[in-house]
Amino acid sequence: MELKDFDYSFPKEFIAQKPICPRDYSKLMVINDRIEHKRFYDIVEYLQKGDVLVINETKVIHAKLRGRKDTGGRVELIVGKIDKNKCKCNLKIRNPKIGKKLIFKKYNAEIIGQDKDRFIVLFDSDVNKIMNEIGELPAPPYVKRKIDRDGQYQTVYSKKNGSVAAPTAGLHFTKRLLDKIKKKGVKIAKVCLHVDFGTFLPVRDIKQKKLHLEYFEVDKKNVDIINKRKGRLFTVGTTSVRTLESVADKKGIIVAKKGKTEIFIKPGYKFKTKIDGLITNFHLPKSTLLMLVSAFVGRKNILDAYKVAIENKYRFFSFGDAMLIFR
Protein backbone atom coordinates (compact mmCIF):
# COMPACT_ATOMS: atom_id res chain seq x y z
CA MET A 1 0.00 0.00 0.00
CA GLU A 2 1.42 3.35 -1.09
CA LEU A 3 0.39 6.97 -0.74
CA LYS A 4 -0.41 7.16 -4.45
CA ASP A 5 -3.13 4.53 -3.92
CA PHE A 6 -5.21 7.25 -2.26
CA ASP A 7 -4.80 9.82 -4.99
CA TYR A 8 -7.54 10.90 -7.37
CA SER A 9 -8.14 13.83 -9.69
CA PHE A 10 -11.13 16.15 -9.65
CA PRO A 11 -12.18 19.49 -11.17
CA LYS A 12 -10.94 22.28 -8.89
CA GLU A 13 -14.27 24.09 -9.26
CA PHE A 14 -15.84 21.26 -7.23
CA ILE A 15 -14.08 22.53 -4.09
CA ALA A 16 -16.91 24.16 -2.12
CA GLN A 17 -15.98 27.69 -1.04
CA LYS A 18 -19.05 28.27 1.11
CA PRO A 19 -21.77 26.13 2.70
CA ILE A 20 -25.18 25.39 1.24
CA CYS A 21 -28.03 27.30 2.89
CA PRO A 22 -30.08 25.79 4.46
CA ARG A 23 -27.24 23.49 5.45
CA ASP A 24 -29.32 20.27 5.29
CA TYR A 25 -30.05 20.91 1.57
CA SER A 26 -26.60 19.65 0.61
CA LYS A 27 -26.42 16.50 -1.49
CA LEU A 28 -26.18 13.13 0.24
CA MET A 29 -24.68 10.07 -1.43
CA VAL A 30 -25.92 6.90 0.26
CA ILE A 31 -23.72 3.82 -0.18
CA ASN A 32 -25.27 0.50 0.75
CA ASP A 33 -25.82 -2.34 -1.71
CA ARG A 34 -26.09 0.40 -4.32
CA ILE A 35 -25.52 4.14 -4.60
CA GLU A 36 -28.43 6.52 -4.07
CA HIS A 37 -28.49 10.29 -4.56
CA LYS A 38 -30.45 12.20 -1.94
CA ARG A 39 -30.53 15.47 -0.01
CA PHE A 40 -29.07 15.52 3.48
CA TYR A 41 -32.46 16.03 5.11
CA ASP A 42 -33.42 12.61 3.70
CA ILE A 43 -31.06 10.99 6.19
CA VAL A 44 -34.03 10.59 8.55
CA GLU A 45 -35.31 7.84 6.21
CA TYR A 46 -32.27 5.68 6.97
CA LEU A 47 -32.43 5.90 10.76
CA GLN A 48 -34.67 3.75 12.96
CA LYS A 49 -35.98 3.71 16.50
CA GLY A 50 -33.28 2.38 18.84
CA ASP A 51 -30.37 3.59 16.70
CA VAL A 52 -27.67 5.80 18.22
CA LEU A 53 -26.11 8.74 16.41
CA VAL A 54 -22.69 9.82 17.73
CA ILE A 55 -21.81 13.51 17.31
CA ASN A 56 -18.66 15.48 18.12
CA GLU A 57 -19.57 18.60 20.08
CA THR A 58 -16.20 20.34 19.76
CA LYS A 59 -16.23 24.02 18.85
CA VAL A 60 -13.80 25.84 16.55
CA ILE A 61 -11.79 28.55 18.30
CA HIS A 62 -10.64 31.88 16.83
CA ALA A 63 -7.16 30.46 16.40
CA LYS A 64 -5.98 32.46 13.39
CA LEU A 65 -4.00 35.61 14.13
CA ARG A 66 -2.84 38.04 11.44
CA GLY A 67 0.12 40.25 12.16
CA ARG A 68 3.52 41.36 10.95
CA LYS A 69 7.20 41.03 11.74
CA ASP A 70 8.86 43.98 13.43
CA THR A 71 10.58 44.50 10.09
CA GLY A 72 7.24 44.75 8.29
CA GLY A 73 6.62 41.37 6.62
CA ARG A 74 3.23 39.69 6.97
CA VAL A 75 2.63 36.89 9.47
CA GLU A 76 -0.21 34.39 9.86
CA LEU A 77 -0.35 32.19 12.94
CA ILE A 78 -2.62 29.27 13.83
CA VAL A 79 -2.67 28.72 17.58
CA GLY A 80 -2.18 25.15 18.76
CA LYS A 81 -1.37 24.04 22.30
CA ILE A 82 -1.71 26.95 24.73
CA ASP A 83 0.15 27.53 28.00
CA LYS A 84 -0.99 30.93 29.31
CA ASN A 85 1.14 33.49 27.38
CA LYS A 86 2.84 30.83 25.27
CA CYS A 87 1.61 28.62 22.44
CA LYS A 88 2.81 26.03 19.97
CA CYS A 89 1.60 27.08 16.54
CA ASN A 90 1.71 26.82 12.79
CA LEU A 91 3.42 29.91 11.46
CA LYS A 92 3.20 31.33 7.94
CA ILE A 93 6.17 33.64 7.74
CA ARG A 94 9.15 34.22 5.47
CA ASN A 95 12.48 33.20 6.98
CA PRO A 96 11.34 32.37 10.55
CA LYS A 97 14.09 32.57 13.17
CA ILE A 98 14.31 32.08 16.91
CA GLY A 99 14.22 35.52 18.51
CA LYS A 100 12.19 37.11 15.71
CA LYS A 101 9.78 39.76 17.05
CA LEU A 102 6.15 39.70 15.89
CA ILE A 103 3.33 42.24 16.22
CA PHE A 104 -0.38 41.40 16.31
CA LYS A 105 -2.18 44.75 16.48
CA LYS A 106 -1.56 45.98 20.06
CA TYR A 107 0.10 42.72 21.16
CA ASN A 108 3.78 41.82 20.87
CA ALA A 109 5.23 38.34 20.54
CA GLU A 110 8.52 36.54 19.96
CA ILE A 111 9.48 33.20 18.40
CA ILE A 112 11.27 31.40 21.24
CA GLY A 113 11.56 27.84 19.95
CA GLN A 114 10.71 25.19 17.39
CA ASP A 115 9.28 21.67 17.70
CA LYS A 116 9.44 19.85 14.35
CA ASP A 117 7.04 21.70 11.99
CA ARG A 118 5.70 23.99 14.70
CA PHE A 119 7.00 27.08 16.41
CA ILE A 120 6.76 28.16 20.03
CA VAL A 121 5.69 31.78 20.38
CA LEU A 122 5.64 33.86 23.56
CA PHE A 123 3.10 36.71 23.77
CA ASP A 124 2.96 39.69 26.12
CA SER A 125 -0.57 38.72 27.18
CA ASP A 126 -2.79 35.68 27.69
CA VAL A 127 -3.19 33.80 24.38
CA ASN A 128 -6.88 33.01 24.96
CA LYS A 129 -7.57 36.70 25.62
CA ILE A 130 -5.78 37.67 22.41
CA MET A 131 -7.72 35.10 20.35
CA ASN A 132 -11.02 36.31 21.76
CA GLU A 133 -10.16 39.91 20.87
CA ILE A 134 -8.53 39.69 17.44
CA GLY A 135 -8.60 36.05 16.37
CA GLU A 136 -10.40 34.67 13.32
CA LEU A 137 -11.80 31.24 12.55
CA PRO A 138 -9.06 29.41 10.61
CA ALA A 139 -10.39 28.44 7.19
CA PRO A 140 -9.03 25.27 5.58
CA PRO A 141 -6.12 25.99 3.18
CA TYR A 142 -8.27 25.28 0.10
CA VAL A 143 -11.02 27.75 1.10
CA LYS A 144 -9.96 31.05 -0.46
CA ARG A 145 -12.59 33.27 1.13
CA LYS A 146 -12.71 34.55 4.68
CA ILE A 147 -15.22 32.82 6.95
CA ASP A 148 -17.26 35.90 7.82
CA ARG A 149 -19.71 34.40 10.29
CA ASP A 150 -19.02 31.99 13.15
CA GLY A 151 -22.09 29.92 12.36
CA GLN A 152 -20.81 28.97 8.91
CA TYR A 153 -17.98 26.90 10.35
CA GLN A 154 -19.60 25.59 13.53
CA THR A 155 -22.01 22.72 13.99
CA VAL A 156 -25.36 23.67 15.52
CA TYR A 157 -24.45 21.53 18.52
CA SER A 158 -20.87 22.80 19.02
CA LYS A 159 -20.20 23.36 22.70
CA LYS A 160 -16.62 22.73 23.85
CA ASN A 161 -13.92 25.14 22.65
CA GLY A 162 -10.74 23.59 21.31
CA SER A 163 -10.69 22.80 17.57
CA VAL A 164 -8.84 24.64 14.82
CA ALA A 165 -11.03 22.95 12.19
CA ALA A 166 -14.67 21.93 12.24
CA PRO A 167 -15.82 18.31 12.29
CA THR A 168 -17.34 18.99 8.90
CA ALA A 169 -19.78 16.08 8.58
CA GLY A 170 -21.72 17.72 11.40
CA LEU A 171 -22.13 20.99 9.48
CA HIS A 172 -25.04 19.48 7.52
CA PHE A 173 -27.30 19.11 10.54
CA THR A 174 -29.89 21.71 11.53
CA LYS A 175 -31.66 21.84 14.88
CA ARG A 176 -34.90 21.02 13.10
CA LEU A 177 -33.37 17.95 11.45
CA LEU A 178 -31.96 16.75 14.77
CA ASP A 179 -35.40 17.16 16.35
CA LYS A 180 -36.90 14.98 13.60
CA ILE A 181 -34.25 12.35 14.21
CA LYS A 182 -34.91 12.34 17.96
CA LYS A 183 -38.68 12.12 17.45
CA LYS A 184 -38.09 8.97 15.43
CA GLY A 185 -36.61 7.34 18.54
CA VAL A 186 -32.95 7.76 17.68
CA LYS A 187 -30.70 8.62 20.62
CA ILE A 188 -27.89 11.15 20.35
CA ALA A 189 -24.56 10.36 22.02
CA LYS A 190 -22.06 13.19 22.45
CA VAL A 191 -18.29 12.84 22.34
CA CYS A 192 -15.58 15.45 22.03
CA LEU A 193 -12.42 15.40 19.94
CA HIS A 194 -10.60 18.68 19.32
CA VAL A 195 -9.38 18.77 15.73
CA ASP A 196 -5.74 19.78 15.44
CA PHE A 197 -4.23 21.67 12.49
CA GLY A 198 -2.33 18.48 11.69
CA THR A 199 -5.48 17.24 9.98
CA PHE A 200 -4.50 19.45 7.01
CA LEU A 201 -0.86 18.41 6.88
CA PRO A 202 0.26 16.01 4.11
CA VAL A 203 1.09 12.42 4.98
CA ARG A 204 4.83 11.88 4.59
CA ASP A 205 4.88 8.14 5.14
CA ILE A 206 1.80 5.92 4.93
CA LYS A 207 3.68 3.29 6.92
CA GLN A 208 3.83 5.51 9.99
CA LYS A 209 1.86 4.09 12.91
CA LYS A 210 0.73 7.29 14.60
CA LEU A 211 -0.80 10.65 13.70
CA HIS A 212 -0.63 14.06 15.39
CA LEU A 213 -2.02 14.20 18.93
CA GLU A 214 -5.65 15.23 19.44
CA TYR A 215 -7.48 15.65 22.74
CA PHE A 216 -10.68 13.65 23.32
CA GLU A 217 -13.20 13.01 26.07
CA VAL A 218 -16.25 10.78 26.50
CA ASP A 219 -18.27 10.76 29.73
CA LYS A 220 -20.18 7.89 31.36
CA LYS A 221 -23.62 9.23 30.43
CA ASN A 222 -22.84 9.07 26.72
CA VAL A 223 -20.88 5.83 27.04
CA ASP A 224 -24.03 4.23 28.47
CA ILE A 225 -26.14 5.51 25.56
CA ILE A 226 -23.76 3.81 23.12
CA ASN A 227 -23.19 0.56 25.00
CA LYS A 228 -26.86 0.03 25.90
CA ARG A 229 -28.27 0.79 22.45
CA LYS A 230 -31.03 -1.41 21.07
CA GLY A 231 -30.32 -0.66 17.43
CA ARG A 232 -27.49 0.32 15.12
CA LEU A 233 -24.59 2.70 15.68
CA PHE A 234 -24.00 5.65 13.36
CA THR A 235 -21.08 8.07 13.64
CA VAL A 236 -21.07 11.64 12.39
CA GLY A 237 -17.64 12.20 10.93
CA THR A 238 -14.19 10.67 11.08
CA THR A 239 -13.51 12.46 14.38
CA SER A 240 -16.30 10.50 16.06
CA VAL A 241 -14.85 7.26 14.67
CA ARG A 242 -11.36 8.11 15.97
CA THR A 243 -12.81 8.94 19.37
CA LEU A 244 -14.74 5.67 19.69
CA GLU A 245 -11.77 3.61 18.54
CA SER A 246 -9.57 5.44 21.04
CA VAL A 247 -11.82 4.62 24.01
CA ALA A 248 -13.05 1.12 23.07
CA ASP A 249 -11.66 -1.90 24.89
CA LYS A 250 -10.61 -5.12 23.14
CA LYS A 251 -14.22 -6.37 23.14
CA GLY A 252 -15.51 -3.18 21.54
CA ILE A 253 -17.07 -1.83 24.73
CA ILE A 254 -16.85 1.96 24.96
CA VAL A 255 -15.17 3.22 28.14
CA ALA A 256 -15.52 6.68 29.70
CA LYS A 257 -12.16 8.34 29.25
CA LYS A 258 -10.33 11.55 28.42
CA GLY A 259 -6.86 11.95 27.03
CA LYS A 260 -4.97 12.31 23.75
CA THR A 261 -5.02 10.02 20.76
CA GLU A 262 -2.53 9.39 17.95
CA ILE A 263 -4.56 6.61 16.34
CA PHE A 264 -4.02 6.19 12.58
CA ILE A 265 -6.89 4.32 10.94
CA LYS A 266 -6.05 3.09 7.45
CA PRO A 267 -6.76 -0.04 5.36
CA GLY A 268 -5.79 -3.11 7.33
CA TYR A 269 -6.93 -1.58 10.61
CA LYS A 270 -9.27 -3.83 12.61
CA PHE A 271 -12.15 -1.85 14.07
CA LYS A 272 -12.98 -2.57 17.71
CA THR A 273 -16.32 -0.77 17.61
CA LYS A 274 -19.25 -2.14 15.61
CA ILE A 275 -20.12 0.95 13.60
CA ASP A 276 -23.00 0.33 11.20
CA GLY A 277 -22.95 3.63 9.35
CA LEU A 278 -20.59 6.55 8.83
CA ILE A 279 -21.68 10.06 7.82
CA THR A 280 -18.77 11.91 6.26
CA ASN A 281 -17.78 14.46 3.62
CA PHE A 282 -15.66 13.96 0.49
CA HIS A 283 -12.02 14.20 1.52
CA LEU A 284 -8.75 15.43 0.05
CA PRO A 285 -6.61 13.08 -2.03
CA LYS A 286 -3.89 11.28 -0.03
CA SER A 287 -5.41 12.49 3.25
CA THR A 288 -5.64 10.50 6.48
CA LEU A 289 -9.40 11.12 6.40
CA LEU A 290 -9.71 9.37 3.04
CA MET A 291 -7.61 6.52 4.43
CA LEU A 292 -9.95 6.15 7.41
CA VAL A 293 -13.01 5.98 5.17
CA SER A 294 -11.17 3.47 2.97
CA ALA A 295 -10.51 1.33 6.03
CA PHE A 296 -14.21 1.48 6.85
CA VAL A 297 -15.66 0.49 3.47
CA GLY A 298 -12.71 -0.47 1.22
CA ARG A 299 -10.36 1.69 -0.85
CA LYS A 300 -11.74 0.65 -4.25
CA ASN A 301 -15.33 1.12 -3.09
CA ILE A 302 -14.71 4.64 -1.86
CA LEU A 303 -12.68 5.75 -4.89
CA ASP A 304 -15.35 4.33 -7.21
CA ALA A 305 -17.95 6.32 -5.25
CA TYR A 306 -15.84 9.47 -5.65
CA LYS A 307 -15.87 8.96 -9.43
CA VAL A 308 -19.67 8.79 -9.31
CA ALA A 309 -19.71 11.94 -7.17
CA ILE A 310 -17.61 13.80 -9.74
CA GLU A 311 -19.89 12.63 -12.56
CA ASN A 312 -22.86 13.97 -10.59
CA LYS A 313 -21.16 17.25 -9.69
CA TYR A 314 -21.01 16.81 -5.93
CA ARG A 315 -19.27 19.53 -3.92
CA PHE A 316 -16.07 18.46 -2.17
CA PHE A 317 -14.28 18.97 1.17
CA SER A 318 -15.22 20.99 4.27
CA PHE A 319 -18.18 22.96 2.88
CA GLY A 320 -19.09 20.23 0.41
CA ASP A 321 -21.67 17.47 0.23
CA ALA A 322 -21.96 14.36 2.37
CA MET A 323 -21.97 10.58 2.25
CA LEU A 324 -23.82 8.02 4.36
CA ILE A 325 -21.83 4.80 4.19
CA PHE A 326 -23.30 1.55 5.48
CA ARG A 327 -20.98 -1.26 6.52
**Residue 145 has what pLDDT?**
83
- Specify whether 181 is located in the same domain as 319: yes
- Specify whether 68 is located in the same domain as 36: no
- Specify whether 198 is located in the same domain as 285: yes
**Residue 25 has what pLDDT?**
98
What digits encode the pLDDT tens for the residues 128-186?
999 999 999 998 889 988 886 667 899 999 999 999 999 999 999 999 999 999 999 99
CA 57 to chain centre: 11
Q: Which contiguous run of DSSP H or E holds residue 190?
A: strand 187-193
- Specify whether 227 is located in the same domain as 274: yes
Q: Does 18 fall in a domain?
A: yes
- Specify whether 79 is located in the same domain as 51: no
- Specify whether 35 is located in the same domain as 148: yes
Please check whether residue 312 is in contact with residue 320, taking contact to mean a CB–CB distance below 8 angstroms. no
- Specify whether 129 is located in the same domain as 226: no
Q: Does 16 fall in a domain?
A: yes
Q: Does 191 fall in a domain?
A: yes
The residue length of the chain stands at 327
Q: Does 112 fall in a domain?
A: yes
Q: Say how many domains are in the chain.
A: 2
DSSP line for 195-258: PPGGGGSPPS-TT-SEEEEEEEEE-HHHHHHHHT-SS-EEEESHHHHHHHHHHB-TTS-B--EE
Q: CA-CA distance, 19 to 30, in Å (whole number)?
A: 20
Q: CA-CA distance, 147 to 317, in Å (whole number)?
A: 15
Q: Does 139 fall in a domain?
A: no
Which of 134, 161, 181 is the last residue in one of the domains?
Answer: 134
CATH number of the domain residue 213 falls in: 3.40.1780.10
Cα–Cα nearest to 240, from 265, 204, 220: 265
- Specify whether 38 is located in the same domain as 81: no
Which of 113, 134, 155 is the last residue in one of the domains?
Answer: 134
- Specify whether 48 is located in the same domain as 129: no
- Specify whether 48 is located in the same domain as 73: no
Q: Is the bond leading into 22 cis (omega within 30 degrees of zero)? A: yes
Domain residue limits at 276: 3-60+144-326
CATH number of the domain residue 97 falls in: 2.40.10.240
Residue type, 153: Y
Q: Does 249 fall in a domain?
A: yes
pTM of this prediction? 0.94
Q: CA-CA distance, 140 to 147, in Å (whole number)?
A: 10
- Specify whether 84 is located in the same domain as 35: no
Q: CA-CA distance, 291 to 173, in Å (whole number)?
A: 24
Which parts of the chain register pLDDT below 50? none
Q: Does 120 fall in a domain?
A: yes
Q: CA-CA distance, 298 to 312, in Å (whole number)?
A: 21
**Residue 150 has what pLDDT?**
63
Which of 84, 100, 134 is the last residue in one of the domains?
Answer: 134
- Specify whether 214 is located in the same domain as 80: no
Q: CA-CA distance, 8 to 135, in Å (whole number)?
A: 35
Q: Does 320 fall in a domain?
A: yes
